[in-house]
Structure formats: structure tokens, C-alpha cells
Amino acid sequence: MQEKPYIVIMAGGIGSRFWPYSRNNRPKQFLDILGTGRTLLQMTFDRFLEISTVERFFIVTNQNYLDLVKEQLPELDEKQILTEPLRRNTATCIAYATYRIHSLDPDAMIIVAPADHLITQEKKFHQAIELASQAAQIEGRLVTMGIKPNRPDTGYGYIQYLDNSENGAFKVKTFTEKPNSKLAKAFLESGDFVWNSGMFVWKVKSLISAYEKYMPDVAEVFNEGVFYFGGLEEKEFINRAYSMLKNISIDNGIMEHSDNVYVIPTEFGWSDLGSWHSIHELKKRDKDNNVVEGNSILYDTKNSYIKVDGNKLVVIQGLDNYLVNESDNVLLICKLDAEKKFREFVANAKKKGEDFV
């Protein structure tokens, strides 16, 4: 890489599949889920600090989390924290950061990443980012990071690529949202599919051209931002802009339509930490494949995740593949792999009162 890239960290999600540990007022990206002493947001910041400089970071988050970001990343100037008034998914989130950076540096290279992923092999990760950055030097090209799958997982999106590599970058053929089990197995066996990591590398000009072509409504709205970015009226402009835009992902809005998308198939110990089940796979487990956090006595219990308040003793008997989680005023007991039910859990808890979500 020539100039240091700009780093855009998306940190606005609510982490509902980690409820009740993850709450509206402190979602999972602001929690030390892995017990490292650093939150997921801080770990992501640390990872990218190896390849950029503090002044080139931008955190995009919900306006309710401004103070949390300031508390956890005091190195940043407040102008580097871009707050969203509404949740409008990744196409709008990324557009805000992209047009903001373009107003500062029209020749910028941008790396976009979620705040809540785990990467265990950071040297390999940095090498893959370098490869992606080289591939993205070509004007108009959009580059995404693909993870070589090791199982037919139905919880991830998949990217199919052509076999004509250009220095490790492969042209993308298709995007597929979370497939069923049969399709996921076929993808794994074919050898030309990778998991969609949700991490991207591109020149700011390349992405703006893509917005103009595939999402002209977004481009029209944010083009006006040049008059407001960095000034006192930026917040008012963003409030107005977000009220005019729809909720759509960058994949649905741009990546699936562009014929100039490339993927870097790679492996660097990646997990999207999308559920309690995924954390269970990463944590240290006992002889019965249980993760136990807190003061518990287990009988005839296996393949489970027990996370409870250490101030009380919890006795559990006869569970298999269960999650038991006590967080503040909520006790949750459900199947460990029941992540598809969590939206329902949270919606019904909300009916009981805002204090429970």
C-alpha cells in the first residue's frame, strides 16, 4: 500500500442474538465477550492500527452509542465518530463514511469492517488486506474478503468466484444469501465458493461510482453532504438524509449488481461471532463439551453454555445443547443453537418492558 488506508468500522448493530447479555444500551460490540480485557470494538481497532494511523479511523454507529465509543476509543476525535439517527443497514452506513472521507481525500483507499468479528491469525489477515488493497488499486474495482469454508454452514452468505486469478484476486460470479443445508453442502463440495465476511476494500472513487450507477438515490442524497461535512450542520444534514433512504445492505444494493467485484479467498481464523453457539465453539470447554462461566454445579449436562452471576450458586441437571444465561434482570434458558428464535425472544421481552431489552 502507498498511502495509509482509511479504516471504517461499522459499530451500530444491536446484537440481538446475544441477548440478554447484549442489550440495547450496550450491544455486543461494546462487550468483552471473549474475556480478553478488550471489547470487540477495541479488538477491531487494535487490529487495524497495525496498518493505518489513528487519524484515519472512522467509526459509524448509532447516535445512542456515541458516549460508548468515546469511552472505549478515547484516542479518536469526536469528528471521527459518525453517528446515525436511524438504522438503515450497511449500504447507507458505508455511504455516509465514504462520502465523508471523499470530502477529505478524494484519492483515499478505504477498508470497511464490522466491529464484532474475531480474527485469530492477524499476520495472515494483514497479508490478505495487503493483497486486497493491491487488487483495489484498479479504478472501479470493488474487493471483498472471502473466507474458505471448512463446513457447510447455513448461517453465512456465500460468494462464488471464477477461476481466473489476478494476483490472488478472483472475479465474483454470484452472491448467495444464507443457503439451506443441501445447497451449503453443494457449495462446499464445488470448491469455488467462500463465506461472505462482510469486509471490503476499495478506492473511494470506485465506490462512489458504484453508488451513482446502482443506488443513484443514495448518491444524490450524500452528494449534498459536501456542503455540510465537518461543520455544525452535518448532524442536521445526516438526520434529513437518513429519513429519505431505505434499509438495504451493501450486498443487495451494489455488490450483487456490479460486474467489477473481486474476492480474495483466504483463511485467517475468522468468526463473525454471530451467536452463542459460535462463542461456545471458541471458548475453553470441559470434558462434557460445556462452557461454564460463573458459580455452577453440573450433573448429567453436556454440550451446553452456562453463563451466570458469580454471586449465586446455580445447580443444573440433565441438559444437553442448552444455553443458560443470567444477565442483570433476565434469565434465559433455551437451546444453544436456537439463534433463529432470538428476534422473537427479544420482541416478546420488550412487551414486558424496556428494562428487559
- The dihedral through the CA atoms of 249, 251, 252, 254 has a sign that is positive
Cis peptide before 27 (omega within 30 of 0): no
Q: What is the mean pLDDT of the chain?
A: 95
Query: Please, which pLDDT band fits residue 2 given cuts at 50, 70 and 90?
Result: low
Query: Please, which pLDDT band fits residue 315 given cuts at 50, 70 and 90?
Result: very high
Query: Please, which pLDDT band fits residue 1 given cuts at 50, 70 and 90?
Result: very low
Query: Please, which pLDDT band fits residue 231 given cuts at 50, 70 and 90?
Result: very high
- What SS3 class is residue 218? helix
Among 6, 9, 12, 245, smallest CA distance to 102 is for 6
pTM above 0.85, yes or no: yes
pLDDT (0 to 100) of residue 311: 85
Judge whether residue 297 has pLDDT over 50: yes
Judge whether residue 309 has pLDDT over 90: no
DSSP 8-state class, residue 230 = T
Q: Which helix (H) or strand (E) holds 176?
A: strand 169-176
**Which residues, including other chains, have CB under 8 Å from residue 228's CB and lie 6 or more apart?**
234, 236, 237
Among 241, 225, 279, 197, smallest CA distance to 100 is for 225
Count CB neighbours of 140 within 10 A: 16
Among 146, 114, 122, 104, smallest CA distance to 49 is for 122
Q: Are 277 and 324 in contact (CB under 8 A)?
A: no
**What's the whole-number mean pLDDT along residues 200-227?**
97
Judge whether residue 129 has pLDDT over 50: yes
pLDDT (0 to 100) of residue 128: 97
Judge whether residue 116 has pLDDT over 90: yes
DSSP 8-state class, residue 302 = B
DSSP 8-state class, residue 101 = H
Judge whether residue 22 has pLDDT over 80: yes
**What's the whole-number mean pLDDT along residues 187-192?**
94
Judge whether residue 198 has pLDDT over 60: yes
**What's the whole-number mean pLDDT along residues 71-90?**
97
pLDDT digits 0-9 by tens, 56-71: 999 999 999 999 999 9
Among 31, 60, 58, 27, smallest CA distance to 43 is for 31
For residues 93 and 105, what is the distance between their CA atoms, to the nearest angstrom?
Answer: 18
CA distances (Å), origin 72, targets 59, 190, 244: 12, 43, 31
